[in-house]
Amino acid sequence: MPIIKAVNGKHPQIPEDCYVAENATIVGEVSLGKECSIWFNAVLRGDVHYIKIGNKVNIQDGAVIHATYLKSPTTIGNNVSIGHNAIVHGCTIQDNVLVGMGSIIMDDCVIESNSIIAAGAVVTKNTRVESGSIYAGVPAKKVKDISEELISGEIDRIANNYVKYSSWFKE
């Protein structure tokens, strides 16, 4: 059974159509939209501020979602994939975003819609990632504009695949 628990009277809100892996942890003020999947060893800690997650979001194995005490909540839009071992902390991620494996997004960043954060990138505090761009490196910088093919071929494909993958575990 996953660890799903209240903190300071605030309970996670998880729709029935979501998949939460047996060793995932979701605590405190966390709300998930429809068709989300929270994978093995992922941690969503809504203990110090809220975490609000839209529809069709997948938080892959080992990812950590947290916030900053009384200052920076975490908001994740619709159709977002958070890659394996990524850290998303006190920031806003808009719709249709791919966050690559092992990347880090720091406090008060805004990742605009239709963007990709490359694997291993570190998006430093207060960075605003432009809509339709790819950011990579340490610290992360814009490397190019995203094509429509990448939006449908990567961002949409991965989000849709994770809805399919989660169905395998619900049977």
- For the stretch 117-142, pLDDT in tens is 999 999 999 999 999 999 999 999 99
Tokens read off for 163 = 């809805």
Q: What percent of the chain has pLDDT over 70?
A: 99
Q: How confident is the model at residue 113 (pLDDT cuts 50, 70, 90)?
A: very high
Q: What is the CATH number of the domain that holds 143?
A: 2.160.10.10
pLDDT of residue 170: 82
Query: pLDDT tens digits for 68-106?
Result: 999 999 999 999 999 999 999 999 999 999 999 999 999
Query: pLDDT tens digits for 3-43?
Result: 999 999 999 999 999 999 999 999 999 999 999 999 999 99
- β-bridge pairing 19-20 and 37-38: parallel
CA dihedral 92, 157, 161, 116 (to 10 degrees): -30
pLDDT greater than 80 at residue 171: no
pLDDT of residue 119: 98
pLDDT greater than 90 at residue 166: yes
Measure the CA–CA gap between 13 and 27, rounded to whole angstroms. 10
Q: Which domain holds residue 53?
A: 3-170
pLDDT of residue 168: 96
pLDDT of residue 151: 83
pLDDT of residue 148: 84
pLDDT of residue 152: 81
If one counts every other C-beta atom within 10 angstroms of the C-beta of residue 22, the result is 9
Number of domains in the chain: 1
Whole-number Cα distances in Å, 60 to 78, 156, 159:
15, 15, 11
